[in-house]
A and B are shown apart, each in its own frame.
Chain A
Amino acid sequence: MFKPKPLWLFLSVLVFLGSRADAAPINSDVGLTPFKGQVIVRTQARFVRKADDPSGQNRKLDAFALPVVGVYGITAKAAVLVRVPYFNKDLRTAGGLTRSNQGVGDTTLLGKYRFYTWNAKGTTSRFSVIGGLELPTGDDEERDSAGLLPAPLQLGSGSVDVVVGGLYTFASLAQEADINVVYKFNREGNDFTFGDQFNYNFAYQKRFWPWTLPDEGVYTQWNAVLELNGIYTQRNKVGGTIVEASGGNTLFLSPGIQFVDQQTIFGFSIQLPVAQDLNGNQLESDYQLAFSFQYTF
């Protein structure tokens, strides 16, 4: 019998993506906000592989996600973000059965407000808060030949969930550092409740091209990116009963590279788990790949 264990962490990672609103790390968010009237469209192709099965049951997860994010600057300090993800998930269960699902997931609506700013020549320091809802727009009653898919394989959670967070950025012409924490209060949907999740991230970027800046004009630049992306999740509940083999903590080390010009940002990152403390016999992460693209109008 299939037990709904392994996908919660995958979903946790994806929920956090896409609230960014400016030049930023690849896997986490920033304290920056768009300018008044600015429209940014951002997407990120993300591939997740989890094939390390401590239970010896040879389970495996391959998942692909493509969240599309629209950002609008209401003022220079306040912005709204809409995120709609596309998922493709393939899970090989303990019995050797492959269960799949693909389609549009839950839509996230976020507000972001920057309430601290310190600016100097070529340098800025900013702190913002975000808050919003994840709405149950994804199908949460999908079935396959084996019956109703388990909640973690569904495209949507079936619940309205609340997201809050704080984001700090210090940036200069040569480098940038970002720290952020985001908490998601998950609620019950279809008799299933994902555990609350806490994302904590630190990111550092260093411009390596051009090494020396031209005296005049605006240039395109390449950054080396190194992030620590942490996710702590509480245990899930089915019908009010705690699922022991769920929840835990995972920390990724995420090196990457980023191209930035005036209207476009490309990025690539690989996320490697450096610490995984998961409850019970859950699938552990092997790696994640992320290709990001951002364009402003």
Chain B
Amino acid sequence: MINKKAAFWTAVLTVFLLQGMPSVFAQDGKEIISVKVKGMFCPFCTYGVEKKLKRLKGVARVKVSLKQGVAKLYLKPGATVSDATINQAVDDAGFTPGPITRSATKGGE
């Protein structure tokens, strides 16, 4: 016979785990690409960088930091974008691409 108290805590634990699982699964396989963008100097010119990078296949969203001179690409799960493609997009926006770094998604990002 199942202990009611144990069943209750098992249910609580299960709900807790299930709530946490989707975000873990959703983040699994996502990549963040950070590219240095040389030449950005004002808000108006960042628009082109954002627009060109957002249009790349597999990119979910783009975040530009003007002061840092960096654009971050948040990719869709399982997606990948080559360095050459990113460099071309930055070049089409009228700027000079710098080093590209890649990392996995972290919680909260």
Contacts and interface: CB of A to CB of B under 8 A. Distances in A.
Interface string B50-73: 111000000000011111110000
Interface centre among B40, B42, B66 (most CB of A within 10 A): B42
Contact of A216 (B39, B47, B68, B98): B68
A218 B66 contact: yes
A124 B41 contact: yes
A122 B45 contact: no
B36 A213 contact: no
Interface in B53-109: 63-69, 91-96, 98
B35 to A, nearest CB: 13
Interface in A35-84: 35-38, 75-77
Contacts of A173: 41-42, 66-67
B92 to A, nearest CB: 4
Size class of the B contact interface (CB-based, 8 Å): 20 to 34
B47 A121 contact: no
A38 B47 CA distance: 10
B44 to A, nearest CB: 4
B45 to A, nearest CB: 6
| Contact-residue size bin, chain A (C-beta under 8 Å from the other chain) | 35 or more
B66 A219 contact: yes
A176 interface: yes
Contact of B92 (A35, A121, A219): A35
Interface in A122-152: 122-124
Majority secondary structure of chain A interface residues (helix, strand, loop or mixed): loop
A173 B48 CA distance: 17
A221 B67 contact: no
A117 B39 contact: yes
A120 B69 CA distance: 9
Interface in A225-268: 260-263, 265
A29 interface: no
**Chain B at the A interface: SS class:** mixed
A218 B46 contact: yes
Given A35-B52, A117-B39, A217 B93 contact: no
A251 to B, nearest CB: 27
Contacts of A35: 48, 51-52, 92-94
B47 A260 contact: no
B67 A213 contact: yes
Contact of B45 (A22, A36, A213, A220): A22
Contacts of A38: 48
A218 to B, nearest CB: 5
Contacts of B41: 122-124, 171-173, 176
A121 B51 CA distance: 20
A263 B50 CA distance: 12
Nearest to A263: B47
A229 to B, nearest CB: 21
A171 B95 CA distance: 13
A107 interface: no
Contact of B44 (A122, A124, A216, A261): A261
A214 B67 contact: yes
A34 B94 CA distance: 7
Contact of B67 (A34, A120, A215, A261): A215
Interface string B29-42: 00000001011111
A296 interface: yes
Interface of B: 36, 38-48, 50-52, 63-69, 91-96, 98
Given A117-B96, A221-B42, A262-B46, 14 more contacts: A23-B45, A32-B94, A35-B52, A36-B52, A119-B38, A119-B95, A124-B38, A124-B95, A172-B41, A214-B67, A218-B64, A220-B43, A260-B42, A262-B47
15 contacts: A22-B44, A32-B94, A35-B48, A35-B51, A38-B48, A76-B91, A76-B92, A119-B39, A122-B66, A124-B95, A215-B65, A216-B67, A218-B66, A219-B66, A260-B44
